[in-house]
Amino acid sequence: MKTASGLVFDLARFSLHDGPGIRTVVFLKGCPLRCVWCHNPESQQSRPEILFSPEKCIGCGECIRVCPQHAHDSAQGEHRFLRDLCSGCGRCAEVCFSGTLALSGQNRTDDDILLEAALDQDA
């Protein structure tokens, strides 16, 4: 039997804010609603994407070195992320140890998600 999978951008364990009781919440990408009040805009694209927090950048240049699409550069000492060039491969996020870049969206199987959620079952 084939296992189902989805593009997950977050899995919040021990959540108290998304309904009654303690729960594990799975956040999927690809929401078509585009609500004005959306608290999770990273959920809207139905593909992996890079989240960029420029205030965390320490200027190491590793993202510039590894990006195959040249979506990162430095102008006057400031990190620029050229989102239109980004393919969402995640290589830049893998080498970013300051937390400036993070990959939002990973394909996960239902079995994988259920195994992680089960960790809270006995808590």
pLDDT tens digit string along 77-86?
A: 899 999 999 9
| Structural domains of the chain in order of their starting residue, each with its CATH number | 1-46+105-123 (no CATH), 49-104 (3.30.70.20)
What integer pLDDT is reported at residue 17 of this predicted model? Answer: 82
Residue with the larger pLDDT of the pair 116 and 65? 65
What integer pLDDT is reported at residue 20 of this predicted model? Answer: 80
Look at the block and give the residue holding tokens 């070195």.
Answer: 65
Cβ distance 59 to 72 under 8 Å? no
Band of pLDDT at residue 1, cut at 50, 70 and 90: low
* pLDDT tens digits, one per residue of 22-37: 888 899 999 999 999 9
Q: How far apart (Å, rounded) are the C-alpha atoms in residues 29 and 70?
A: 25
Q: How far apart (Å, rounded) are the C-alpha atoms in residues 4 and 36?
A: 31
- Residues counted in the chain: 123
Q: Where are the alpha helices (DSSP H) in 32-73?
A: 62-66
What integer pLDDT is reported at residue 24 of this predicted model? Answer: 87
* pLDDT tens digits, one per residue of 36-78: 999 999 999 999 999 999 999 999 999 999 999 999 999 888 9
